[in-house]
Structure 1
């Protein structure tokens, strides 16, 4: 048995071990990097709810190497000689502090190590509490047989095992999947060429591609001698092109032997994992391992394109030649170093160029980015064909803004999207009108002025038609909504009331009330309250569903409605209607001064009932005799059924719609032509 003594200050252990890594993947990456530097060809990570184990078949360490290398924290990492006939590897680590990453994962870890010159594994255990309680920490090192859980690795001629216990973060099934995805991005190793394999719970991790590679739509590269490998790697990309804008930047990357690419995905969600992590940034790798998780973090912009951008930069030689390029947080490069600052500046310029090209490409293909139901809509295609080149350019620019909203994870209602599309049509037409007015004012030739005037008049007429078309669209939507309410058996009476009060023209086409700007002769009220004095100190409360004043009627009109399903309170008869309307009229006469001398029957009433209403003997749920209907008519009470409202509204706007279809004023979406 031998004693291994660690000489280290407690602040170093806490800073470089416990607090250095906020999540599991970067801490694991440090331990994997140590295995790679030790010329391991196989690294397996085993995850459970209580422990994390990292097993490799690298060179391992004997006791003297533990004492002279491992136990000295913070000394420059010594380069290992190639092992087992492998080619020389550039070391991923530089400071020899990666081992402390284990304390970010758990409170205790046990090491098992074996070299080719020893027959036994040696082992010791480190505890975080012991490491921070003084300037020195001694542990016993002994020869051991591997425990049963690692028995399959007894066949290794050499190797290194770290088992971390008392883990600090829960390891769930989703955690394991996320670790696999995150580790894939933290390395870039040609696993075949380097003879290196990484597995998590015996599942291989791909270290030379990432999940977003097949989602890259447009890519700009630099520092590559050929794009053939990129074409294979990004086989789904529509555009792959070299950076050519600035020769100085091109030569910078060539001279520094730095290569990389920056690309854009189709949608922002293509850069997000199912566990919430986002890869919408540009990483920098050195010697196969991530050196900066977001190289342009100090160059943030508010451009929409940033949500679509991803990139990978490879700067092995530059980073290897820097004295101490990594910041104290180990999460990125130290941008106070002149060489690092220069690198960041040049990458930022390429990103700016990518954003400019992305804007152009998206704008030119704006229609292709629309939902299938719109871009394949016959009416929309016909409308596009009516546009001239300038109008198409403006249309694409506006659609590009809309596309970014459609790409959001929060879905937008189809009707909202359709409204935006038709609004864009209105904007384009208004712009054309403004251009014509400007040209008319500048032109001095009378003949040309007349031609411009005629064109302007036609354009103004078109604008008026478009405004009318938008009104028709809104009314068609209101008709559709009423139809839906009628079909839904659980629709509440209050919902019918709100919909009809918002669209009184459904009841009478001449009623077009603006409740935001009421006048003395034109206003509408919901649930208007009147108290009816029945004498003998007896009062009855009355709530009118809708009351409306219009220029065509001398007195307010009462609208009482029931839901379309003829059951419960909605199933009425003649006596119930007569009693309810009598109370309403008397209450209004008592409370409205101008009605004091008015006969009850002078106040018009519209009673809206279920479509399941008819004459006696027609087997309807609500039935009236011919005599009852005559009495209601004499009493100035009109019975109106929902299905009649619907059919009359459709009939009224059908001709308007046919005209708009022929004129192609705006694209008709949602099969409006069938309504």
Structure 2
């Protein structure tokens, strides 16, 4: 015969292992559940007394429970007050009820093996005692568990509820910074009609030490900031996204950045987190890891936001029992992530600009010479880049002597990059972080500075010395040697091919073992200086005494010998197409210089031109005018560096 008994779902006591005994792993999480229950009971004061070794006593002055309420609510796992009573708000203070799952009452078994509960409602006292040992014995026997009653005369409170926790699990009782950790889990503690005392001292925002380490803060909407937050700068963020149509969907709270990431490391907690609350209590411990894009600013972030729409009565509960995780594909949670991603763009933009301004202002206050350097930088965003550079270095060390050394090297490296067109590299290095930045500056720092300065000083000395030699009418051979050693004087744009230069040798000496059939006059022709520049052009230089006055025909006659000899040698080497030029350097203008057309035609016939020694000097000084200006700049920079 078929069994017609109706099906029945039964819950084994073993479920308590998962809903209470092993659900929570730390003291603040357990106390959060007890404090939330007191809030729901319209308590005005909650006291947590841990002064007696091995015992924790938690007392509230709420409305308490009768014996029947204890049986129907407290001992009923999964009791859902909001739905079953239709009481989403408390009767006395009209508070939004925090409890929802009906399992938080079991949290105390995560830290204690014995729990005694006393409660008084309307002057009627009731109480019970439960032990983990008794619950496990009932589990093993597959029987119901019957807690032990506490006689009314053993209950010494006049109203509310008291929990007495004994036989504590010490491995879960770490009290490191308990006050701060508990204060962070609520936005209602210390507010109107609700206070929590731990060992006689009220909890409040003063217990949250990280609040004093916040540099920049962004208020969300019209949220009031805690009085202990004194930011250097603050901003305001929108409290909703433009696409949200439900008027109840809005966000409150604040997001902030610390002075340093280390300010957020307060063992055992890392406060580099954005806490999410709903209905005044913790909803998710950290949402930052869901929006972290890996950029530098996220290491400085902390925050405290409230989004009550995550815990609406009419919609599904998306928080896990231990409040460590949420159902992430829920549209409400996705909306919150979209909101945070949106406002983070404002945060990072403000943070980057504000931090540079604040840090470089402090750096200048400590080292006024930096202001002089910044004032010199014009154009191409150099000043902004330099301010960011100063800001990065300012944070590297607390030692002022170390910072001054870094500023000196950074200034020189920055100038190198600026002069060599490395602004883009610098911008990328600033974005990448200080390690990349310092490597870039070090690669180009002292060596380039020394070489650049040496070139400037050396070439200026050469020009001035050459001018002295000419003024003293030195012998031709002296000038010849001087110019040979400094060919850039002839034309700063020329660059000779290494090994191609010769001085005062027969024209054909460059072309050894070449049978070019030179006549005796050509064989005897000796050039003062001959070289080939990097474009392949042969340059023959003929120097004349500075006090001689010559005519163009004399020069062309001599130049034609060099021309013919060179052309024959090139032809013999099958290189006759190579270009060449003959230059005469004289001390005085040509006697027939006024006959411009005649002189030009004569010189063109041998591909020649004439320069005076004074023209060489003027051209070199003009070409190196930039060097002169940069020398002045370097001197000014050095003066600034010396002041650091």
Aligned partner of 2:388 in structure 1 is 397
Structure 1 residue 294 corresponds to structure 2 residue 286: yes
Whether 1:138 and 2:162 are equivalent positions in the alignment is: no
- Does the CA-based 8 Å contact 1:190-1:208 persist in structure 2? no
Gaps of 5+ in 2: 1-9, 425-443, 455-631
Quickly say closer, same or farther: Cα 1:255–1:385, change in 2 above 3 A. same
Shift of 1:244: 5.8
- Higher mean Cα deviation, 108-117 or 239-248? 239-248
In the other structure, the counterpart of 2:449 is 464
Q: Say if 1:287 and 1:316, in contact at 8 Å, map to a contact too.
A: yes
Q: Structure 1 residue 38 and structure 2 residue 38: aligned?
A: no
Kindly state the Cα deviation for residue 213 of structure 1 after the two structures are TM-superposed.
Answer: 3.4
Cross-structure match for 1:102:
108
Does 1:74 pair with 2:78?
yes
| 1:95-121 deviation per Cα after TM superposition (whole angstroms, max 9, x unaligned) | 111111101112221112222241x44
Partner of 2:69: 65
Under a length normalisation based on structure 2, what TM-score does the superposition of the two structures give?
Answer: 0.59
Q: 2:233 maps to which residue?
A: 239
Alpha carbons of structure 1 residues 303 and 214: separation in structure 2 relative to 1, 3 Å: same
Aligned match of 2:198: 200
Report what 2:160 is aligned to.
Answer: 159
Q: What SS does the corresponding residue of 2:177 show, helix, strand or coil? A: helix
- Answer yes or no: is 1:387 the counterpart of 2:387: no
Match of residue 21 from structure 1:
24
1:181 is matched with 180
Q: TM-score, normalised by structure 1?
A: 0.56
Q: Which moved more, 1:195-204 or 1:68-77?
A: 68-77
Q: By how many angstroms is 1:431 displaced? A: 2.0
Deviations along 1:595-642, one digit per CA (max 9) or x if unpaired, are: xxxxxxxxxxxxxxxxxxxxxxxxxxxxxxxxxxxxxxxxxxxxxxxx
Find the aligned partners of 2:86 and 2:59 in 1 and give their Cα distance.
19
Name 2:600's counterpart in structure 1: none
1:111-122 → structure 2 map (5 Å cutoff) = 111-118=117-124, 120-122=125-127
Write out aligned runs for 1:333-482 (5 A). Answer: 333-368=326-361, 370=363, 375-388=365-378, 390-403=381-394, 405-406=396-397, 416-435=402-421, 464-465=449-450
Give, in angstroms, the shift of residue 311 of structure 1: 1.5
SS at match of 2:184: helix
Kept in 1: contact 2:79–2:101 (CA 8 A): yes
1:263-274 to 2 correspondence within 5 Å? Answer: 263-273=256-266
Match of 1:551 in 2: none
Is the 1:8–1:135 contact (alpha carbons within 8 Å) kept by the matching residues of 2? Answer: no
CA distance in 2, matches of 1:352, 1:84: 39
Per the alignment, do residues 465 and 83 of structure 1 end up closer, same or farther by CA in structure 2, a change over 3 Å counting? closer
Q: Are the counterparts in 1 of residues 176 and 268 from structure 2 also a CA contact under 8 Å?
A: no
Is the 1:304–1:404 contact (alpha carbons within 8 Å) kept by the matching residues of 2? no
Displacement of 1:32 in angstroms is: 1.0
State the SS of the aligned residue for 1:9.
coil
d(CA) in 2 for partners of 1:437 and 1:279? 37
- Report the counterpart of residue 409 of structure 1 in structure 2: none
SS in 2 for 1:330: coil
Is 1:316 aligned with 2:302?
Answer: no
CA distance in 1, matches of 2:288, 2:98: 22
Equivalent of 1:665 in 635, 638, 641 = 638
* Match of residue 477 from structure 2: none
Distance 1:340 1:39 in 2: 29
TM-aligned CA deviation for residue 164 of structure 1: 1.4
SS in 2 for 1:136: coil
**How far apart, in 2, do the equivalents of 1:295 and 1:206 lie?**
23
Displacement of 1:214: 4.0
Instruction: Report the CA distance between 1:401 and its aligned residue.
Output: 3.6
2: CA distance between counterparts of 1:181 and 1:24? 12
- Using the TM superposition, give the Cα deviation of residue 43 of structure 1 relative to its aligned residue in structure 2, in angstroms: 0.8
1:327–1:235 Cα change, 3 Å: closer
Residues 88 and 96, structure 2, Cα contact 8 Å, conserved in 1:
no
**Taking structure 1 as reference, are residues 278 and 405 closer, same or farther at Cα in structure 2, changes over 3 Å only?**
farther
